[in-house]
């Protein structure tokens, strides 16, 4: 029932995850943050198996941080995505595979060029202009196919995202009352409404 | 006094020195000179070959300058066999990084990997250190073109211009005088490299059979290009700098 959506704009990536934390028929909390900041310009969103999602996200987060401390330079979005996919692939043929689906959004600190990567529990990975994980895909990808254009402004991207939320509210049986929305741009990562 | 503490690499002498490491550096000071010069738009690596013979198959054997990956190359001074082992290691490390991060390894990182390996041989294992010094010329998106030098102790530093091997102190002082801090182009650097080698090489004549010359620069397509000069290109370069085979002035 969890949902991740990512949209690249002119010089930013707009990323959102639903904030519902539920088990079976019970909603445990409504303010869950399914994102983890990897470095100043890269954000990881994870959903999937209980425990795995957080475990994997924090494992990647710690290792990206370690790289920065060791080497004094941050990793690019492409390198972060490649590293994360590699970890997922290595876990796949081990005793305990991570059952986690993710989105990674980031910008190049110098140029502000945005990049969004979609990656799943089978370690498939693809750079995309807009992407979703979860049941949302069935409803929201077609909305974005229709309305997404390159070089969207933040306001336009937020409006597109609203169209996605409205579509889910209308057509998706799962109730997702609230979403956490974040923007990654040259200045860094921040939360918006 | 020194002799008693020589045989084990992994122990200090009473004066606090590691003799095996120092002896390795001594071995390097007898090897063919290699120098590197950093320019704004690239790096020059130039070296004097010790093994020269008309019978040597030039195109098939590199003695001094080697490619490490798509963005880095190196020049060596010291025991060639030791150098080969280390270069194999460096190439593997570079590819391992590419495999994990889908990007070329940053220059300083590759230097660090090599140095960590070299340092290990001065602290454990009971094996002698590698008798090689390296000059690394590379490019990465963080710091652009960079030149590094590492020695058998596992120590390294970044340089604008430096020299290793025989007559290196001589060459170093010439470089110190003639190297311009700002606005140095690859063409300037090539010219300076040839001048310095001409002044410090042991042999009386300078020819393409005695030199290895290479540049690391950005091509027109934006990709990093490694260019190993052919014999004809070296001869042309020497002619351009007026230090060719039959020069009048002393060499």
The pLDDT, as a whole number, for residue B141 is 92
Partner-chain residue, chosen from B99, B103, B106, that has the shortest CB–CB distance to A71: B106
Taking CA atoms, B20 is separated from A80, A143, B122, B130, in Å, by: 42, 70, 8, 10
B44 CB contacts (<8 Å, ≥6 apart)? Answer: B36, B37, B137, B186, B189, B190, B192, B193, B213, B214, B215
Partner-chain residue, chosen from A71, A73, A79, that has the shortest CB–CB distance to B102: A79
**Residues of chain A with C-beta less than 8 angstroms from the C-beta of B96:** none
pTM for the structure as a whole? 0.88
As a whole number, mean pLDDT of residues A186-192 equals 96
DSSP A45-99: EEEESTTHHHHHHHHHHHHHHHHHHHHSSPPPHHHHHHHHHHHHHHHHTSSS---
Minimal Cα–Cα distance from A174 to chain B, Å? 37
As a whole number, mean pLDDT of residues A80-99 equals 95
The pLDDT, as a whole number, for residue B78 is 95
Residue recorded with tokens 């503490």? B5
For residues B49, B53, B57, B63, the Cα torsion angle rounded to the nearest 10 degrees is -20
Minimal Cα–Cα distance from A82 to chain B, Å? 5
**Residues of chain B with C-beta less than 8 angstroms from the C-beta of A73:** 106, 142
**Residues of chain B with C-beta less than 8 angstroms from the C-beta of A79:** 101-103
pLDDT in tens, B19-71: 889 999 999 999 999 999 999 999 999 999 887 777 877 666 678 999 999 99
Confidence category of residue B251, pLDDT binned at 50, 70, 90: very low
CB B47 within 8 A of CB B32: yes
Confidence category of residue B10, pLDDT binned at 50, 70, 90: confident
What residue of A is the nearest CA neighbor of B113?
Answer: A71
The encoded tokens of residue A129 equal 């202009």
């Amino acid at each position: 029932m969890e949902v991740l959506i990512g949209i690249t704009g002119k010089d930013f990536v707009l990323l959102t995850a639903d904030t519902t934390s539920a088990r079976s028929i019970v909603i445990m909390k409504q303010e869950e943050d399914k994102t983890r900041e990897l470095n100043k310009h890269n954000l990881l969103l994870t959903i999937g198996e209980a425990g795995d999602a957080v475990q994997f996200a924090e494992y990647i987060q710690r290792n990206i941080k370690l790289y920065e401390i060791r080497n004094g330079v941050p990793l690019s979005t492409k390198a972060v995505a490649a590293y994360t996919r590699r970890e997922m692939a290595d876990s796949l043929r081990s005793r305990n595979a991570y059952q986690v689906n993710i989105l990674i959004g980031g910008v190049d600190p110098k140029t502000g060029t945005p990049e969004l990567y979609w990656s799943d529990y089978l370690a498939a990975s693809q750079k995309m202009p807009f992407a979703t994980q979860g049941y949302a895909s069935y409803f929201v990808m077609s909305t974005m196919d229709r309305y997404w254009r390159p070089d969207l402004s933040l306001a336009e991207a937020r409006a597109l995202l609203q169209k996605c939320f409205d579509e889910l509210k209308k057509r998706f049986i799962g109730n997702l009352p609230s979403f956490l929305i974040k923007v990654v741009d040259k200045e860094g990562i921040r939360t918006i409404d | 006094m020194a002799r008693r503490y020589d045989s084990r690499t992994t122990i200090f002498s009473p004066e606090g020195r590691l003799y095996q490491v120092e002896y390795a550096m001594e071995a390097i000071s007898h090897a063919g000179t290699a120098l590197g010069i950093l320019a704004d738009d690239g790096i020059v690596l130039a070296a004097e070959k010790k093994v020269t013979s008309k019978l040597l198959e030039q195109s098939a054997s590199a003695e001094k300058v080697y490619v490490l990956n798509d963005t880095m190359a190196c020049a060596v001074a010291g025991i060639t066999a030791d150098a080969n082992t280390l270069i194999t290691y460096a190439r593997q490390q570079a590819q391992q990084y590419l495999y994990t991060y889908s990007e070329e390894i940053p220059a300083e990182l590759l230097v660090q990997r090599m140095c960590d390996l070299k340092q290990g041989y001065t602290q454990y294992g009971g094996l002698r250190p590698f008798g090689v010094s390296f000059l690394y010329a590379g490019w990465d998106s963080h710091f652009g073109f960079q030149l590094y030098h590492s020695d058998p102790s596992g120590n390294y530093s970044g340089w604008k211009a430096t020299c290793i091997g025989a007559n290196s102190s001589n060459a170093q002082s010439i470089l110190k005088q003639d190297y311009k801090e700002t606005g140095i182009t690859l063409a300037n650097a090539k010219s300076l490299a040839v001048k310095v080698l001409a002044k410090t090489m042991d042999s009386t004549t300078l020819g393409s059979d005695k030199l290895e010359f290479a540049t690391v620069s950005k091509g027109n397509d934006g990709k990093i290009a490694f260019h190993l000069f052919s014999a004809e290109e070296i001869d042309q370069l020497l002619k351009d700098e007026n230090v060719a085979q039959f020069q009048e002035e002393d060499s």
